[in-house]
Structure 1
Amino acid sequence: MPGFLGKKFSGPVAKPMWPFYVSGLVILYGVNAAAGAMMTADEYKDDPRNPLRKNPTSDSH
């Protein structure tokens, strides 16, 4: 069974990947900022799916 997975390779994994982790965090921050800005925009502030909507009506699904 040990030969099934092949030879072990003991090389660094997280250390050379740090630029990808950092860029992923930057992208997630940007998406979050854009979503927050869209929720407060005039075009979407009255959307019933908006969690920041001021006067929620009794919409039953």
Structure 2
Amino acid sequence: MSLLGKKFPAPIAQPMAPFYVAGVVILYGINSFANALANSEEHRNDPRNPASKTVQPKDKHN
């Protein structure tokens, strides 16, 4: 006897495929828009912009 009850052979992935694809497209669009805004002239020199931060070398204590 299963703890979750009887299993039904209902398809899950196939009917939900358009929603998965739409989610990926929306996330790609949001990411592209955020990158475009971060690289715009207005926000390029903002100290909160992660793209403008330079990596500083770590101090080695010898």
Unaligned stretches of 5+ residues in structure 1: none
User: Is the deviation greater in 8-17 or in 43-52?
Assistant: 43-52
Equivalent runs, 1:1-61 vs 2, <5 Å: 2=2, 4-53=3-52, 56=54
Question: Structure 1 stretches (4+) deviating beyond 2 angstroms?
Answer: none
State how far apart, in whole Å, the 2-side matches of 1:11 and 1:51 are.
45
Q: Percent identity?
A: 53
State how far apart, in whole Å, the 2-side matches of 1:9 and 1:19 are.
22
State how far apart, in whole Å, the 1-side matches of 2:8 and 2:18 are.
22
Q: How many residues align?
A: 56
Shift of 1:49: 2.5
Q: CA RMSD in A?
A: 2.2
